[in-house]
Amino acid sequence: MGFEYLKALHIIFIVTWFAGLFYIVRLFIYQTETLEKPLEEQKILKPQLDLMAKRLWLGITWPSAVLTLIFGFWVLSYRWGYLELGFMHAKLGFVFLLYLYHFKCHQIFKQLQKGVSKWSSTQLRIWNEAATVLLFAIVFLIVLKNLLDMVWGIVGLLVLSGLLMAGIKLYKRRRQRN
């Protein structure tokens, strides 16, 4: 298979993986909030949210994570020289963190499927933004291919993280007023 086709498939599965990661944590928030509702509402909402989470997690997110990894290594096999460059070490470090994030989401998924919520909805909203920060870091590193630009990128990530935290706090205040 040609390099450009492999790269296209790698990017497609990155997109579907991130879509799954972003949406699964939203479902975690809904599942957690459902567990705080009266029992009659829980009986209606919990089975539906559990089914949605299961289909998303096992049918889209996990397969996308695996295919991203396979196509990523395949693409890298065409560019082994990149492994000597600092930006690629940093990018692969962020990708490793993304897989750790994925595995932690799997742990949360299994707990919520059992009706156990160890995180508040606010904590899950903050957790959801971690994937956003990792996405920014990975994309900027692979596009810019420069560690000096990465320093500016990290500064940008810190600013982005601060803005996301402020947005979450504003949302929480607004929600509490309503």
Binding site per annotation, positions for heme: 10, 91
Q: How far apart are CA 25 and CA 105, in angstroms?
A: 8
- Beta carbons of 121 and 154 less than 8 angstroms apart: no
Structural Rg of the chain based on CA atoms: 18
Cα-Cα end-to-end distance for the chain:
55
86 CB neighbour count, 10 Å cutoff: 13
21 near 131, Cβ under 8 Å?
yes
CB neighbour list of residue 152: distance below 8 Å, 6 or more residues apart: none
**Residue numbering of the annotated binding site:** 10, 91
> What DSSP designation does 59 have?
I
| Residue 173 tokens, joined | 């205040």
Handedness of CA 76, 78, 84, 87 (dihedral sign): negative
